[in-house]
Amino acid sequence: MQHGGGKLRHQSEGRLIEIQDREGEIVFAVRVSPRASRNAIGGEYQGAIKIRLTAPPVGDRANGALRRLLAERLKVPVSAVRILAGEKSRTKRVSIAGATREDVAKAFEPQPNEARAHPVTVDRRRQRDA
């Protein structure tokens, strides 16, 4: 069975972030740092995309801020962003409906108001699932 699997590669450390393409949805892991000084997407942390949020982790505010940030960056409605696992954890699995791996890679490029030490690129090779 073939899937269009893709991985984001953090260039400086060579670690991979798996991005799964599941029936029109993109699924990947994020590591959230709540109560940051600004909202930002900042590289890789233990196989997940590191995201800083100004919202506190109280009353689902950080999860809402995460969904809004990803929706804004990927240019999809907030309703297209779902948290599949880790609602009460810093490490989460998210699903984005209507986005492609290329959209995700573009969303993680440094924004003009973000300083990023390590850029993220996409490995566009296809994988085979056993």
Residue 20 lies in a domain: no
Whether 4 shows a pLDDT value over 90: the answer reads no
Q: Which CA distances in Å does 99 have to 54, 96, 117?
A: 25, 6, 26
Both tokens of 98, joined, read 């209507």
Confidence band, pLDDT 50/70/90 cuts, at residue 64 = very high
The closest alpha carbon to 33, from 65, 9, 80, 8, belongs to 65
Residue 75 lies in a domain: yes
Residue 43 lies in a domain: yes
Residue 107 lies in a domain: yes
Q: Which CA distances in Å does 61 have to 8, 22, 68, 84?
A: 27, 27, 11, 16
**Which residue segment(s) compose the domain that 85 sits in?**
28-114
Q: Residues 8-28: what's their mean pLDDT? A: 69
Total tally of structural domains belonging to the chain = 1
State the CATH number of the domain containing residue 62.
3.30.1200.10
CA distance 44 to 116: 11
Query: Of residues 8 and 31, which shows the higher confidence score?
Result: 31
Mean of pLDDT over the chain:
76
Confidence (pTM): 0.72
Q: Residues 61-79: what's their mean pLDDT? A: 92
Whether 114 shows a pLDDT value over 60: the answer reads no
Residue 130 lies in a domain: no
